[in-house]
Structure 1
Amino acid sequence: MKDWRKRPRRRHSQELKAQVLAQCAQPGASVAAVALAHGLNANVVHKWRRMTGEAATPLASFIPVALPAPAAVQQDIRMELRRGTTTMTIVWPSAAAAECAAWMRELLR
């Protein structure tokens, strides 16, 4: 049985490396699939990519996105009035705050 550790290192031509790296650069290409198709270990191909600077994907540039203005959240005026044993809960739209104040003045006279 031959010891695998004594096997000489494989040397790959620059042409093969360029061909493999070009295939890896294709959209949707898998480095592992390309390496397997060429009888290479995927880690070797990843190392070639790092050495040539191809592994780093370009950062996406900033793209401003226009967002619609958020809808104004209209809070309601909420009041709880107690007179003796009677309790009233009043919910009034905040857009009509002046009318709410007038109503309260009349109610509390």
Structure 2
Amino acid sequence: MESGKEVVRRRRYSREMKEAVLAQCEQPGASVARVAMEHGINANVVHSWRKRTRGGPMAHHGGVQEQFVPLALPATMAHSIGHVVEVEVQHGATLLKVRWPLEGAADLARWTREVLR
């Protein structure tokens, strides 16, 4: 019997294809949306692959929340008294607050990109 409804099937991608797409996303200046579009894949699919391979930003593993890890700063940044950049990122119940010397803003940008991958 036909119900008149079209059966929607999920596309399957090989491990090699996923690895190639994810490698392209890791290139400096790469846009996940652009890489996905070039391969005819929805960007949300690629984002989910990235989260699964990395455990997701601020992920919980095995039901245990990740613990605080101190970050050693170079001496030139550690004693700065001038202006600071304050960043707050909330992900679910987790709140990450960072105070960073203004003169190290470029380093903060790189650090933030890595944390949010």
Normalised TM-score (structure 2):
0.46
Normalised TM-score (structure 1):
0.49
Structure with max Cα Rg:
1
* Larger RCO, structure (CA 8 Å, separation 6 or more): 2
